[in-house]
Amino acid sequence: MDKVFIEALEIECTIGIYDWERRIKQPIVLDIEMGFDNRRPAASDAIGDTLDYKAVSKRLIQFVGDSDFGLVETLAERCAAIITGEFGVPWVRLKLSKPGAVRGARAVGIVIERTREA
């Protein structure tokens, strides 16, 4: 399976369970791999045949920026659902990092893999 990826997409949002986290915007970083058959766009050389990573990025920036979740797990699930549901991606691997959340660690977070529901 071919993969289209978005690497290190940084978005400011409200995320966290502590009171102080609810009052500020914090960065999260998304690394995304999306399964997509690239033979058709390669043959046509037409943007309309591709999985438009700019459109995916813009949608996630809007959604995450407006979101207000307590858990990174919830935010990751919702992002994966947008990718598979709205963009018709059959498989997605999404890594959501929360930089600076734990002292001494560059980042913490989760990695999920989801497939589109038939």
- Position 42 scores a pLDDT of 95
Give 101's pLDDT tier (boundaries 50, 70, 90). Answer: confident
- Position 1 scores a pLDDT of 85
- Token representation of residue 103: 């002292």
Tell if the pTM clears 0.75, that is, is over it.
yes
Maximum distance among all Cα pairs of the chain, rounded to whole angstroms: 52
Q: How far, in Å, are 51, 64, 115 from residue 26 at the CA level?
A: 29, 11, 28
- Position 117 scores a pLDDT of 77
Average pLDDT over residues 14-40: 95
Per the annotation, the verdict on 98 as an active-site residue is: yes
Active-site residue identified among 54, 58, 95, 98:
98
Average pLDDT over residues 10-30: 94
Domains in the chain: ranges and CATH: 3-115 (3.30.1130.10)
Q: What is the mean pLDDT of the chain?
A: 95
Q: Taking 70 as the threshold, does the pLDDT of residue 106 lie above it? A: yes
- Position 118 scores a pLDDT of 63
**pLDDT tens by residue, 57-93:** 999 999 999 999 999 999 999 999 999 999 999 999 9
Q: How far, in Å, are 22, 65, 107 from residue 34 at the CA level?
A: 31, 21, 23
- CB distance 99 to 31 below 8 Å: no
- CB distance 65 to 11 below 8 Å: yes
